[in-house]
Structure 1
Amino acid sequence: MKQRIYTAGCLLLMFCLFSRAGIAQNKSFIATITEQNRWVDSVYKKLSRKERIGQLFYVRAHTNKGKAYEDSVAAIIRDEHVGGLVFFQGGPVRHANLINLYQKQSRVPLLIAMDGEWGLGMRLDSSVSYPYQMTLGAIQDNNLIYKMGQMVAYDFKRLGMHINFAPDVDINNNPNNPVINYRSFGDNKYNVAKKGIAYFTGMQDAGVIVFAKHFPGHGDTNVDSHFALPQLPFTRGRLDSLEEYPFREAINAGISGVMIAHMNIPALDSTKNLPSTLSRPIVTGVLKDSLKFKGIVASDAMEMQGVVKNFPNGQADVKAFLAGNDLIELSVNSKNGAKLILKAIRKKLISKEEFEAKIKKLLAAKYWAGLNQYKPTIPAGIPQDINRPAAAELIQQLADASITVLKGDSRTIRQDPLKKTAIISIGLDRPTVFQMELSKWYANSMIFHVDKNMGVPEMNRMLQMLKQYPQVFVSIHDTRTRPASKLDYSNNVKLLISELAAKPNVVMSVFANPYTLAGLPGIEKSAGILVGYQKDDAMQRSAVKVITGLMKPAGKLPVSVNTFFPTGTGVSF
């Protein structure tokens, strides 16, 4: 009875949140921000020029840095009249309470943003993490990704947030990309576009403002723009046909925002060491004029070394503003940046009409988000609401839909449930969900663990012991927080994997970034190979379902790993 009451209450809250943005969301976001609006005009007229400039800036906020830090942000809100905040690490209830407090400091309600590519769990403790975009790239049913967008939007709105700086629609065609990689839907531009549209449409339909990033495409770089300025040395033709494709499709599908990358792109702007964020030919010329984008253009974080290294002390802010950005994210010196923007306006480096259009666009976004009728968030019940059973159910559905069989059929994958079986996990020193679930189906089985730094004597002893077992299941786990392209296993362990793969009746399940397969030579010889993309328990349960015949595999590899496993590989049976 209690469960039914809670479920009914949760559904009612979801209805209220999804409808609270008001009548504005009966119209598309682009229609809302491009038509005349009485509320917008009224607010704009009441603002001083300094207050109007403040609407451009979105500053950093945390709930894990102590009261002094929180108070300093409140002072910036009051003194600089910023348009919004970008929240980072902390906890969901603390975030909701602080958002309520910060909203009281602002004359115009703040738009609250966060990077939540895989939901609140990307930044917050005690919160749900949905699968990474690389995992989603393997799914063939895009309706599931739309549902994920709806769920993520609910979580954002439940905390009082309005903007998700997602999805990432970069095409990751460089396996060594240090900053995008598993954050991408893959290396096929059509798949990336379709997945990105499904995800953002789910969020946007549920009332959250979204941003496709990082324009014009950060997928083929080997430099992290957090630390240096990457260069994209490709021709205009290549950029237009490949990198820009998902952005063009997202724009045609009505996306509300686009975020600009910090990259030097000589084919689009030959200015030496100029980041794309600060380039008017790129921001205005390509995105706004050529691609006809009418939504909000946001800079990537202006505190990143890829931009501030050559343009410190607010210089980057004014250049981003003049380039055509509407929203300046995470300035290192927003106060000085605002002063420089004021000087640029006075010098008529930007027309009065363009400046007014920028500010009114940002105010119209606030109207669309329902901030014309702002109400504070109710903190009570947040942990239960964002960690609701429906979220866990969807995560398992997404895992089930993504699990990919690269080699094998129903017979070779399942083996013989009556035979003596070894179930080995590599990378963890405790029983895994995969082992515990699989052992229920193989009564005559033994569990083994291999440390990722196992020595040669231990390895030889294990190989000797495994001679007693005619069939073996191996699970490979990346224990790190973020799934890198190469496993941090010792060469001994990689050799062990190769030797095991060469034996008959060995099935490998890889719960790691799919690119790691390229660093495990010989694994292609296994009788069966499954990829689970990340270390989550849901993925391990999905693999067991496929092995035991409870579920047919449907996932397709979203990236090309090597000649054995190109993009689109995936066996169905």
Structure 2
Amino acid sequence: MKKSGILFYLFLSLCFQNVLAQISTPPGFLNKNRQWVDSVFKSLTPDERIAQLIMVAAVSDVKRAVIDPKTSNPDFVEKLIRENKVGGVVFFQGGPVPQARITNRFQAASKVPLLIAMDAEFGLAMRIDSTVRYPYQMTLGAIQGSNDLIYEMGAQLAKQARRLGVHINFAPVADINNNPNNPVISFRSFGENKYKVAEKAVAYMRGMQENGLLTSAKHFPGHGDTGTDSHYDLPLIAHNTERIDSLELYPFRALINNGLSGVMIAHLSIPALDKTPNLPSTLSKPIVTDLLRHKLGFEGLIYSDAMNMKGVTKYFPNGKADAMGLEAGMDVLEFTEDVSKTIAEIKKSIAEGRISQAEIDFRCHKVLEAKAWVGLNHYKPVEAANLYEDLNPKSAELVNRLLTEKALTILKNENNILPLRELDTLKIASISLGADSITTFQKTLSLYTTVDHFVIPAKPSEAQLTELRAKLSSYNLLLVGVHLSSISPRGNYGLTDAMNSTLQELIATKKAVVSVFGNPYALNKILKPEAAKALLMAYQLTPYTQDLSAQLIFGAIPAVGKLPVTVNSNFPYNSGIETPALGRLKYTIPEEIGLDSRLITFKIDSIANMAVNQKATPGCVVQLAKDGKVFFRKAYGKHTYEGSKPVKLTDLYDLASVTKITASTLALMSLWDAKKFDLDATMKDYLPDFEKSNKADLPWRRVLTHSARLKSFIVLWKEAQNADGTFKKKTFSTTKSKKYPTSVVGDSLFIYKNYDKTIFKSIRDSPLNEKEGYVYSDLSFILYPQIVQRLSGENFEDYLKNHYYHKLGANTLTFNPKRFYGLDEIVPTERDTFFRMTQLHGQVHDEAAAMLGGLSGHAGLFGDANDVMKVWQMYLQQGYYGGQQLLSKDALFEFTRYQYPEMGSRRGIGFDKPSFKYTGNAPRYASPSSFGHTGYTGIMTWADPAWKLNYVFLSNRVYPTRENNKISQLNIRTAIMDVVYEALLK
């Protein structure tokens, strides 16, 4: 960046910091609904006004309670509400429906509607099950640029909390964590940079408050630089006032000046602010009143941290401490353990003049104003119906994915190894350390190429390690995931000695790319992590971090995160190496492209299940992508109607005629790029044997658009039969031999050597159709493998795999798949009752391709949906994929455009395209620029550049017989893609 650019950036940054520090907005709940507030206030006795300032703890699942189950169980809490008229409840462990029911029970028992609070720093999941868990604030601290997504997270959390009947979130954490050994804040902080902490805290706070949720920034005046957990002791902050004022207080000032509704006071000993020995800041008037209320001008609600914590109870008993807290200036006492004693002590403080009744009344008014602001003046019970669904919207999953994606941080990238390129040169193993089974990380890695997986538990046996060492020597790249089970330093972040030593061995191979799923400070516990080939910090161990880290490694997404804290001298604050995306498929959810998951899934499920239920096909796989983002992948049904094996996303299908455009046309485009294949040359130019045939002067452009008068097909196996149905000599044999070396099906039928020449001669000598016009023909495609070999010098299959499939990571694409896959991974097709007389399973369905040994240009290719889609994504991206331009843009343009529209032909070169009048060959809403193909076995692929849509449909509709054509009659294949078009059109 030029010097002028840097200065301008600094100027803007300072301006924004200045805005955060100077613009002041009072809390929005003040002076709201005064008529209701005054009415309720007048109905309260002096004791009840005190009680409005008290929040007690509750759980909705006593069995899981980590707090005292005697004082937090619903019966005990309800008694406090009825007898003492407390003002609020703080919920801890439980579940959403139980909490909703107990909330309604408590509200019904209360004279004044209760304020319900939770610690939900990273979502309701911080306290209750079956709810959304957003990233920790440390993870969010790694995000650069706009904080709009953090605002959106706050907005979503607010809606979820309010749906559950919760009115206050004790968040955001505004502490600046600059102590790697901090046992209590750490991952809960946005980081160590006060400006970034302030910006992100304000965005989070605004998202919550602007959507109806009260907040409480914590832990004032700053808990970030401590080595003691205030849950267990009273931490000491030894910094001077200048340091505290300039650093720790900065985020709180920014929040206050932006309308913060609440602040939580920490239990800290801070001699620079209050010299009273062992006095927690919670009980300090100089800190709560003089500093927060007067100097910083905070007008909102001041909450105590939990009054049962050792940070306060170590030196001050329950009740007495609570009264001292109000004397210091707090408005709300959280987690008061002995309500009766607390009220008695507060009344004593009033009687002795340490606090006035007027002060109590003023604070009671504020609490009531907050209650009115959250709508408790028109209280309605929590509706339990659809609660789980409402608390887990797909929009939350999208925000989770996007936040995680933007946070992932590369800390080492030797020779720019990430993102991975040239997949055909890599033999990859993945090793998940600290896991007990194949991980999400590993499953996503497998979406991109062939990866062999190994799992090493936290405490492996020596035998496991010995086996691992022996197997890894044959790989040239190791993708290592370090799965840390603890986010806290108390548990050494979940890093065992065995994991650490194993990791060092892997790093020492000089082949390891390491991804750390855990607290960034864990890098201080790992021996020489900087020696890895590449190091990726994912900040947490979640399905999102694992999934997206794998996608980043392969270049489906860029790396843009920066370290929000200083770990050590090797990894200082703001470390982070940016890497680009390489145009590989990204895997996400429909919401990322603006679609509704539930609606899309319901509609596609309906169509696919109809296909299975009406026996149009035993099963199928549907995969859809837009803008290079795979948003729908689902398998339906079983391999066979009578079988029990469910279809898997990774199952291989016989692609039938989709071979034409995923193999033959691909190879021809490549040769066209290399100027070895001319579309305007004639058949004799590349097939010398055709020089004297009736096809000699047919131009390839005509041939490839099915308009060269070629016959549709020749029943080649019939030509090998005698009139009585027996096979002619030198055609087939039931036993394998030198003369009959090639299997047509299994071990029961073999074809005569060099019989392919007979097949090619039969095509050469076949008559032409009398009339010109479009006639779909297999014949020329049978010839392309020999043309490719003649022009390239490589075997057809080798050419495709070496130049395309392996580079794309599309390694399931293969002919004769039984060489590499078990039959349980391959979906069967027809029960052949007229030629091969057997169940076809792992052999090509097409008879002509079978007679060519399973390898032909018109049929014979097998693969799974994901790998087929990679080829088609390359087509959509005009030949670009994985950082390589594998085909030219010109080739894609030329081959996928209408060639003879003036003749009414809808064909491209090899590719099918939409008819000019809708005939059902393509999706109804497909654009004129779209292209695709169908396959006889029940396959369809379609790409639409105008919409950037990519569609793969795999099925075995020919099982058990080809006579079943319901898949076309019911319009299954095109109807599924039209669901997406219709959704996008809306």
| TM-score (normalised: structure 2) | 0.54
CA-CA distance at 1:38 after TM superposition: 2.2
Give the Cα–Cα distance (whole angstroms) in 2 for the partners of residues 36 and 424 of structure 1: 60
Structure 2 residue 470 is matched with structure 1 residue 473:
no
Per-residue CA deviation, residues 91-122 of structure 1 (Å, 9 max, x unaligned), is 10111111111111111111100000011100
Structure 2 residue 208 is matched with structure 1 residue 203:
yes
With over 3 angstroms needed to count, the CA separation of the structure-2 counterparts of 1:481 and 1:498, relative to structure 1, is closer
With over 3 angstroms needed to count, the CA separation of the structure-2 counterparts of 1:116 and 1:483, relative to structure 1, is farther
What is the match of residue 573 of structure 2? 567
Give the Cα–Cα distance (whole angstroms) in 2 for the partners of residues 118 and 319 of structure 1: 31
What secondary structure, in the 3-state scheme, does the structure 1 residue paired with 2:120 have?
Answer: coil
More displaced stretch, 324-333 vs 502-511 = 502-511
Q: Give runs of aligned pairs for residues 419-498 of structure 1, distance below 5 A.
A: 419-443=426-450, 445-455=451-461, 458-480=464-486, 486-498=492-504
Structure 2 residue 216 is matched with structure 1 residue 219:
no
More displaced stretch, 479-488 vs 240-249 = 479-488
Per-residue CA deviation, residues 427-466 of structure 1 (Å, 9 max, x unaligned), is 00200111111123222x3111122223556435423432
With over 3 angstroms needed to count, the CA separation of the structure-2 counterparts of 1:34 and 1:270, relative to structure 1, is farther
What is the match of residue 118 of structure 1? 122
With over 3 angstroms needed to count, the CA separation of the structure-2 counterparts of 1:188 and 1:530, relative to structure 1, is same
Residue among 365, 369, 372 paired with 2:374? 369
What is the match of residue 534 of structure 1? 540
Q: Structure 1: which 5+ runs fail to align?
A: 1-27
More displaced stretch, 485-494 vs 331-340 = 485-494
Give the Cα–Cα distance (whole angstroms) in 2 for the partners of residues 94 and 366 of structure 1: 23
Q: Is the 8 A contact 1:401 1:555 kept in 2?
A: yes
What is the match of residue 316 of structure 1? 321
Q: Is the 8 A contact 1:314 1:340 kept in 2?
A: yes
CA-CA distance at 1:485 after TM superposition: 7.8
What is the match of residue 654 of structure 2? none
Residue among 258, 266, 269 paired with 2:263? 258
Q: Is the 8 A contact 1:452 1:490 kept in 2?
A: yes
Q: Give runs of aligned pairs for residues 501-512 of structure 1, distance below 5 A.
A: 501-512=507-518
With over 3 angstroms needed to count, the CA separation of the structure-2 counterparts of 1:548 and 1:31, relative to structure 1, is closer
Give the Cα–Cα distance (whole angstroms) in 2 for the partners of residues 230 and 145 of structure 1: 30
With over 3 angstroms needed to count, the CA separation of the structure-2 counterparts of 1:119 and 1:106, relative to structure 1, is same
Residue among 27, 32, 36 paired with 1:39? 36
Residue among 55, 70, 75 paired with 2:74? 70
With over 3 angstroms needed to count, the CA separation of the structure-2 counterparts of 1:442 and 1:483, relative to structure 1, is farther
What is the match of residue 56 of structure 2? 59
More displaced stretch, 65-74 vs 446-455 = 65-74
What is the match of residue 409 of structure 2? 404
CA-CA distance at 1:543 after TM superposition: 0.9
CA-CA distance at 1:222 after TM superposition: 1.1
Q: Which amino acid aligns with 1:442?
A: T
Residue among 290, 305, 308 paired with 1:303? 308
What secondary structure, in the 3-state scheme, does the structure 2 residue paired with 1:468 have?
Answer: coil
What is the match of residue 93 of structure 2? 89
Residue among 517, 527, 536 paired with 1:521? 527
Give the Cα–Cα distance (whole angstroms) in 2 for the partners of residues 540 and 465 of structure 1: 24
With over 3 angstroms needed to count, the CA separation of the structure-2 counterparts of 1:38 and 1:166, relative to structure 1, is same
Name the % identity.
Answer: 45
Q: Is the 8 A contact 1:501 1:524 kept in 2?
A: no
Name which structure has the greater RCO, CA cutoff 8 Å, separation 6+. Answer: 1
Per-residue CA deviation, residues 242-265 of structure 1 (Å, 9 max, x unaligned), is 111111111111110000000111
Give the Cα–Cα distance (whole angstroms) in 1 for the partners of residues 308 and 111 of structure 2: 26
CA-CA distance at 1:206 after TM superposition: 0.4
CA-CA distance at 1:354 after TM superposition: 2.4
Per-residue CA deviation, residues 150-203 of structure 1 (Å, 9 max, x unaligned), is 111111101111000011111111111111111111111111111111111100
What is the match of residue 6 of structure 1? none
Per-residue CA deviation, residues 198-224 of structure 1 (Å, 9 max, x unaligned), is 111100000000000000011111111
Q: Which amino acid aligns with 1:176?
A: N
CA-CA distance at 1:372 after TM superposition: 0.9
Q: Which amino acid aligns with 1:251?
A: I
Q: Is the 8 A contact 1:297 1:327 kept in 2?
A: yes
Q: Is the 8 A contact 1:417 1:441 kept in 2?
A: no
What secondary structure, in the 3-state scheme, does the structure 2 residue paired with 1:360 have?
Answer: helix
More displaced stretch, 497-506 vs 471-480 = 497-506
Give the Cα–Cα distance (whole angstroms) in 1 for the partners of residues 122 and 296 of structure 2: 28
CA-CA distance at 1:336 after TM superposition: 0.7
CA-CA distance at 1:525 after TM superposition: 1.4
Give the Cα–Cα distance (whole angstroms) in 1 for the partners of residues 502 and 110 of structure 2: 60
CA-CA distance at 1:353 after TM superposition: 3.3
What is the match of residue 179 of structure 1? 184
Q: Is the 8 A contact 2:419 2:555 kept in 1?
A: no
Q: Give runs of aligned pairs for residues 272-351 of structure 1, distance below 5 A.
A: 272-351=277-356
With over 3 angstroms needed to count, the CA separation of the structure-2 counterparts of 1:428 and 1:544, relative to structure 1, is same
Q: Which amino acid aligns with 1:454?
A: P
CA-CA distance at 1:482 after TM superposition: 5.5
Q: Alignment RMSD, CA only?
A: 1.8
Q: Which amino acid aligns with 1:364?
A: E
What is the match of residue 12 of structure 1? none
Q: Is the 8 A contact 2:96 2:387 kept in 1?
A: yes
With over 3 angstroms needed to count, the CA separation of the structure-2 counterparts of 1:227 and 1:308, relative to structure 1, is same
What is the match of residue 244 of structure 1? 249
What secondary structure, in the 3-state scheme, does the structure 2 residue paired with 1:414 have?
Answer: coil
Q: Is the 8 A contact 2:507 2:532 kept in 1?
A: yes
CA-CA distance at 1:349 after TM superposition: 1.9
What secondary structure, in the 3-state scheme, does the structure 1 residue paired with 2:191 have?
Answer: coil
What is the match of residue 132 of structure 1? 136
What secondary structure, in the 3-state scheme, does the structure 1 residue paired with 2:27 have?
Answer: helix
Give the Cα–Cα distance (whole angstroms) in 2 for the partners of residues 481 and 244 of structure 1: 26
Q: Is the 8 A contact 1:171 1:185 kept in 2?
A: yes
Runs of 4+ in 1 over 6 A off after TM superposition: none
Give the Cα–Cα distance (whole angstroms) in 2 for the partners of residues 540 and 110 of structure 1: 40
More displaced stretch, 453-462 vs 120-129 = 453-462
What is the match of residue 9 of structure 1? none
Give the Cα–Cα distance (whole angstroms) in 1 for the partners of residues 227 and 122 of structure 2: 23
Residue among 560, 563, 581 paired with 1:554? 560
Give the Cα–Cα distance (whole angstroms) in 2 for the partners of residues 389 and 32 of structure 1: 30
Q: Which amino acid aligns with 2:378?
A: Q
Q: Is the 8 A contact 2:229 2:235 kept in 1?
A: yes
Q: Is the 8 A contact 2:487 2:493 kept in 1?
A: no
Q: Structure 2: which 5+ runs fail to align?
A: 1-24, 64-68, 580-986
Give the Cα–Cα distance (whole angstroms) in 2 for the partners of residues 54 and 424 of structure 1: 57
CA-CA distance at 1:31 after TM superposition: 4.7
Number of corresponding residues = 545
More displaced stretch, 204-213 vs 40-49 = 40-49
CA-CA distance at 1:498 after TM superposition: 2.1
Q: Is the 8 A contact 2:485 2:494 kept in 1?
A: no
**Higher Rg:** 2
Give the Cα–Cα distance (whole angstroms) in 2 for the partners of residues 321 and 223 of structure 1: 25
Per-residue CA deviation, residues 352-398 of structure 1 (Å, 9 max, x unaligned), is 43222111111111111111111111110001111121111211111
What is the match of residue 364 of structure 2? 359
More displaced stretch, 156-165 vs 36-45 = 36-45
Q: Which amino acid aligns with 2:538?
A: G
What is the match of residue 3 of structure 1? none
Q: Is the 8 A contact 2:434 2:456 kept in 1?
A: yes
Residue among 123, 147, 158 paired with 1:142? 147
CA-CA distance at 1:572 after TM superposition: 1.1
